[in-house]
Structure 1
C-alpha cells in the first residue's frame, strides 16, 4: 500500500507512467559539459519533430502534386490540356480522402470512367488504389467490398482495352493483385488502429482502477489508524483521569495511595505513547518500537484488567481455551474490543461497578463477552455519535462477527461478539 517501506502512505499514489525509470549506475557528466551534447542534438531532433508533425493535408497533397508535375514534364505540350485535366480529376480529390473516403473514392472512380471512355492511359490511375486503401482503412466491411468490386471491374475493363496481344491474363492478374493488396493493407490498418485504441482504453481503465484501489487502500489505512488512535487515546486518558481524581482525593488522607496513583498515571502515559508509536510505526521501517513492542493480544488482557482495577473499575477476567493458534491481528481485535468496552464502563458507570470479561477460544472462533452491573448513565446532553461502538462493530465485522451491545435484562450493560477465524461468514450471536 505504501510506495516505500520507509515513507508514509501518500494520499496521491504515483501512477505507473509517472515513475522514474532507473538508467543504471554509470557516472554522467554534469554542468556545461553535460549540456553541450544535448544542446548540439536539439536542432536535429527539432527538425525531425517538425517534419513528423506536418498536417495530414500536406502529406495527402504530395501525391497529386507529383502526378501533376510528372504529366507536365513528360508529355508533349499539345496533349497537356486533356492530360492535366484528367490527372487533376483523378489525383486532386485525394487531398480530402481522410475527411470523406467514400465521396473521394466516388469522384476518383468517376474520373477513371471518363478516362477509360476517352481511351487515355495515365500514371494517375494509382489514385484508384490509394482511394480504395483509404476506404478500407476508414469504412466498414460493406463499403470496402463495394469499393474493391468497383476497382476490380475497372481493372477488368482496363485489361480488356489496353492489354497487349496474348497478355490479357497477365495484366489482369497483376491489376487484381494490386487491388487485393490495397484493400488488405487498408483493412489491416483499420484493424491495427482499432486494436491500439482498445489497448489504450484498457490501459486507461486499468490505470483508473489502480488509482481507485490505491485511494481505497489509503482511506482504509486512515480509518484503521484513526480507530487505533481513538482506542488508545480514549482508554488511556480515561484511566489517567480516574487515577488523577483518586490521587487528588487521597493526597491528604493517604499520601502513599496518592503517590501510587501518580506513579500509575505516569506508567499509563508512557504506555499510551508506546502504543501510539507502535501503531504509527507501521508506516515507518525505521521505527524501533514496532519490533520491541509487538501489538497487544489476548495475553495482555490480564494487564489491562489490572489497569482497570487500579483506575477504580474492579474487573474479573476469564480466558478459556488456548489462544496460541489465534492470529496476531485477531488477538489485537479481541484486545481492542475488550479495551473499548471496559473504557465505556469506566466512563459511564458510577463508582462500585464491577465488570466481567470472558474470552472463549476454540479452533475456529473466538467469543468475547464483556458485562458490567452498573447502570448506563451518559452525561447530560451527550449524544451517541462517538466512534467507540461503531469502531467495535467494524473490528468485529472484519472477522465475520456481528457485535451486540446494549442493556442486559437483569441490569447492566453487555457487549458480545464471535470472531470467525476460518474466514468470512455470519457469526452466531
Structure 2
C-alpha cells in the first residue's frame, strides 16, 4: 500500500511541488492583508504569484523555473521593492537545480543566488555593519541550501546505482541458475547413457544365450527371455527419462560406471574420515531400483553431506536415513549445525541440481533449516516405473 502511494506521488510531480509551495504562499498572506512592504495589495499579490507560481513546475523544468524566479527577484531589486516572504522561492529553485541537474548547473545557480545576496546587501542597507552582516547571513544561507542540494543529488545517484546493481545481480543469478541446470541436465544425460547402455548389453547377452539354449534347454531359454523382458522395460523407462533431458554438446570424456545405493556406505566412511560424525541407517527392505535411481539417491546423500561439511560448522552430527516403502524411497539427511545462520554466498547450485535429478523420476525434494537448529534434506523418490505396453 505504501509503495503504491509512493509510486503515485512520484508520477504526480506538479501536485507534490504545489504542496511544498503552499506554505510559502500562506506565509505571504498576512503581509498582503496588512499592507506591509510599502505597496498595494494587488501589486504584492502579483509579485507573490510570479515568485511562487513557477514552483509548481520546479522539478519538471528546474532551470527554467529558477531563471524566472531569479529574474523576477532581480527586477524587484532594481525597482527598489523590498524583499518579501515569497523571495524564499529563490532558495527553493536553487535547491531543485542542484539536486536534479548536473554539478555545473547547480554551481551556476549557486553563483546567481550569491549575486542576488550581494545585490540585496547593497540595495537595502541600514548601515555599514548591517550590510556586511546581511551579506554574510545570506551567503551562509545560500551555501547551506546548495550543500543540501548536492547531498540529495549524491544520495539519489547512489540509490539509483544500488537499484541497478540489484537488478543486474538478479539477472546474473537467474542466468547462473539456468546455466547450472543445463549443465546438470547434460551430466544426467551422460549418467543415464551408462544405465541404458548397460541394459542393452544385458539384453544382447541374454538374447544370445536364449538363441543357443532354445533347442536344448527350454527352461533356461524362457528364463533368458524373462530377463530380456524385464531389462527391456527398465531400459525403456530410462530412455523415456533420457528423452526429456536437454543435453548439451560437451567434452565429457570416457564414460565410467556410476555409484549407487551400495556405495553409500563407502561415502559415509569417507566423510567420517574427514572428521564429521555420521550415523547411517536403513529402514525397510531395500527395493530393486534402476541404476539411474540409485545414482540419484547417491548424489542426494553426497550433496547433503558436502553441504554439511561446508556450512555446518565445527562438531556437527549428521544422520543419514534411507526408508523404503512399497512404492517409494525416502532419503533424509539431517544435521545439528548452523542451519539458517550458515553463510550462503548465493552461488551454489547443489540444491538446484538435486531437485533437477529427483524431478526426472517424478520425485520431490525439501531442503530447509530445521526449527530446532541445523539443516535437513528430505527427498522422496519412486523406486520403480511401469512402462505401458
Alpha-carbon distance change, 288 to 216 in structure 1, aligned in 2, over 3 angstroms: farther
Counterpart for residue 250 of structure 1: 213
Counterpart for residue 291 of structure 2: 275
Determine whether 1:115 maps to 2:76: yes
Deviation at 1:160, TM superposition (A): 1.8
Please tell me whether the aligned partners of residues 13 and 60 of structure 2 are also in contact (alpha carbons under 8 angstroms).
no
Which blocks of at least 5 consecutive residues in structure 1 are unaligned? 1-44, 293-429
Deviation at 1:263, TM superposition (A): 8.1
* Alpha-carbon distance in structure 1 between the residues aligned to 2:212 and 2:28: 114
Deviations 1:369-424 (A, max 9, x none): xxxxxxxxxxxxxxxxxxxxxxxxxxxxxxxxxxxxxxxxxxxxxxxxxxxxxxxx
Deviations 1:164-198 (A, max 9, x none): 32222222111111111111111111111111111
> Tell me, what secondary structure is at the counterpart of 1:167?
helix
Counterpart for residue 174 of structure 1: 137
Counterpart for residue 221 of structure 1: 184
Aligned counterparts, 1:410-425, within 5 A: none
* Alpha-carbon distance in structure 2 between the residues aligned to 1:88 and 1:284: 74
Deviation at 1:257, TM superposition (A): 5.3
Deviation at 1:233, TM superposition (A): 1.3
Which blocks of at least 5 consecutive residues in structure 2 are unaligned? 236-288, 302-320, 332-389
Please tell me whether the aligned partners of residues 225 and 279 of structure 1 are also in contact (alpha carbons under 8 angstroms).
no
* Alpha-carbon distance in structure 1 between the residues aligned to 2:225 and 2:205: 11
* Alpha-carbon distance in structure 2 between the residues aligned to 1:255 and 1:278: 34
* Alpha-carbon distance in structure 2 between the residues aligned to 1:283 and 1:274: 14
Please tell me whether the aligned partners of residues 14 and 60 of structure 2 are also in contact (alpha carbons under 8 angstroms).
no
Counterpart for residue 37 of structure 1: none
From 48, 60, 67, the equivalent of 1:106 is 67
* Alpha-carbon distance in structure 2 between the residues aligned to 1:284 and 1:74: 80
Alpha-carbon distance change, 168 to 52 in structure 1, aligned in 2, over 3 angstroms: farther
From 144, 151, 156, the equivalent of 2:118 is 156
> Tell me, what secondary structure is at the counterpart of 2:83?
coil
Please tell me whether the aligned partners of residues 67 and 123 of structure 1 are also in contact (alpha carbons under 8 angstroms).
yes
Please tell me whether the aligned partners of residues 114 and 139 of structure 2 are also in contact (alpha carbons under 8 angstroms).
yes
Alpha-carbon distance change, 108 to 283 in structure 1, aligned in 2, over 3 angstroms: farther
Counterpart for residue 232 of structure 1: 195
Deviations 1:339-364 (A, max 9, x none): xxxxxxxxxxxxxxxxxxxxxxxxxx
Deviation at 1:287, TM superposition (A): 6.0
**What's the TM-score once normalised by structure 1's chain length?**
0.51
Cα RMSD (Å): 3.3
Alpha-carbon distance change, 169 to 280 in structure 1, aligned in 2, over 3 angstroms: same
* Alpha-carbon distance in structure 2 between the residues aligned to 1:51 and 1:210: 28
* Alpha-carbon distance in structure 1 between the residues aligned to 2:323 and 2:228: 24
Give the paired residue count: 247
Please tell me whether the aligned partners of residues 90 and 127 of structure 1 are also in contact (alpha carbons under 8 angstroms).
yes
* Alpha-carbon distance in structure 2 between the residues aligned to 1:222 and 1:229: 10
Counterpart for residue 135 of structure 1: 97
